[in-house]
Amino acid sequence: MQTETLTVEDTSAETRKRRVLSGIQPSGDLHLGNYLGAIKRWVERQYEKENYFCIVDLHAITLPHDPEALRQRTRGVAALYIASGLDPDHCPIFIQSHVTAHAEACWLAGCVTPLGWLERMTQYKDKAGRSDSSERISTGLLAYPVLMACDILLYSADEVPVGEDQKQHVELSRDIAQRFNHMFGETFVLPEPMIPEIGARVMGFDDPSRKMSKSYEHIRGHLVKMVDEPKEIERTIKRAVTDSGNEIVFSEDPAKAGVNNLLGIYQVITGKTPERVEADFANARGYGDLKSAVAEVVIEELRPIRERYNEIMDDVSELDRILADGADRAGAVANAKLREMKERMGFVLPGGGS
Ligand code: ATP
Ligand code: LTN
């Protein structure tokens, strides 16, 4: 039953800036794909919008994890957000588990999400498929997209800037929002995935047919970490798998995926047009020149980030203060929306209410 006492947030697009929310799991060390596909864009657009950026630690336990590594990496991801240029005075930066509304909303939303929607998710099939037994796959891995939907919907985010691989999850968030709105009345804004035109899918240097991913960080030569030293970056890029030809042009041909990946990385970092990028390599003497140039721009892009990261990690108490402040500001928004969800669904709220 909907009554007049319902506490509905004003979410009309005319009266507020566009809201943005995104997050990254602290499930491994962040890499060049995370940076070019997500963080770099967040930083570039931050002052145009009202933003919320979280470190999604609850998502990072959907696969088996090491508690001490999780603790370290959670602060590490926060430090990388700030080191990359996110301004915590403007964008609340917070740890997902600090705003308990996310986990609570996930239960509520899970009860209106059909099982079939979750079983169809590519990431679930991919990650569950790597295990040889369903006994080893957690229920959390299946429910992962419901929690992600709540991360987004609790903030009435209009835009969710992510890499290509997360598009399906953002679309599912829309479906969940629509279903909830239909069942209980207009509650959620429908979010849109914002996928960068270039850099949305950085491929592994060891195998350009596979997306660069933290899950493969144990494979030698697969990725460049955001905090790698210049020598390490150079070594990885110099060894990148290419092909036996020598043509340095953008191409959709799967056989040229390695070269295409290197050119794409060079393009996002330099901000040049594809024609200018190809012109830069018109006189190259083979892939060696291309790799040196890519290594150089990557090293220079990441150098200040690594330096700032080290400074931030030297003062963890200041970082914890920033995260506590972020959680307070984010919590105010998320808790109001959670309350609205509960009212709409018919819960008796503590202290009265509808
Ligand atoms: P995992 O292997 O643990 O799933 P991941 O490396 O795929 O991790 P996520 O934490 O899933 O990274 O993703 C964080 C953000 O980085 C998301 O917005 C995602 O779309 C983006 N991203 C991840 N990998 C890439 C990639 N190779 N290219 C471009 N964007 C990427
Ligand atoms: N599933 C996302 C991480 C994530 C996220 C979010 C991204 C969790 N909650 C909310 C955007 C908005 C991933 O990148 N693997």
Closest residue (by CA) to atom 13 of ligand 2? 24
Q: What is the pLDDT of residues 222-232, one digit of tens each?
A: 999 999 999 99
What does residue 263 show for φ and ψ, rounded to 5 degrees? -65, -40
Does residue 211 line the site of ligand 2, with CB under 6 A? Answer: no
In whole angstroms, give the CA distance from residue 216 to residue 119.
23
Does residue 293 line the site of ligand 2, with CB under 6 A? Answer: no
What does residue 141 show for φ and ψ, rounded to 5 degrees? -65, -40
Q: What is the pLDDT of residues 121-171, one digit of tens each?
A: 999 998 888 777 777 899 999 999 999 999 999 999 999 999 889 999 999
Q: Of 160-164, 198-202, 275-279, which one has max mean pLDDT?
A: 275-279
Does residue 27 line the site of ligand 2, with CB under 6 A? Answer: no
User: How many residues does this entry show for the chain?
Assistant: 354
Q: What angle do CA 267, 271, 277 make, to 5 degrees?
A: 45
Q: What is the pLDDT of residues 32-47, one digit of tens each?
A: 999 999 999 999 999 9
* H or E stretch at 161: strand 159-161
Closest residue (by CA) to atom 16 of ligand 1? 34
Ligand 2 binding pocket mutation candidate from 53, 54, 56 (most atoms within 8 A of CB): 56
Catalytically active residues, by annotation = 127, 211, 214
Ligand 1 binding pocket mutation candidate from 27, 30, 34, 123 (most atoms within 8 A of CB): 34
What 72-79 contacts at long range (C-beta under 8 Å, 24+ apart), as own/partner pairs, is 73/26, 73/27, 73/28, 73/29, 74/26, 75/313, 75/316, 75/319, 75/320, 76/26, 76/29, 76/30, 76/309, 76/313, 77/24, 77/26, 77/30, 78/319, 78/322, 78/323, 79/309, 79/312, 79/313, 79/319
Q: What angle do CA 316, 319, 321 make, to 5 degrees?
A: 115
pTM of the model: 0.92
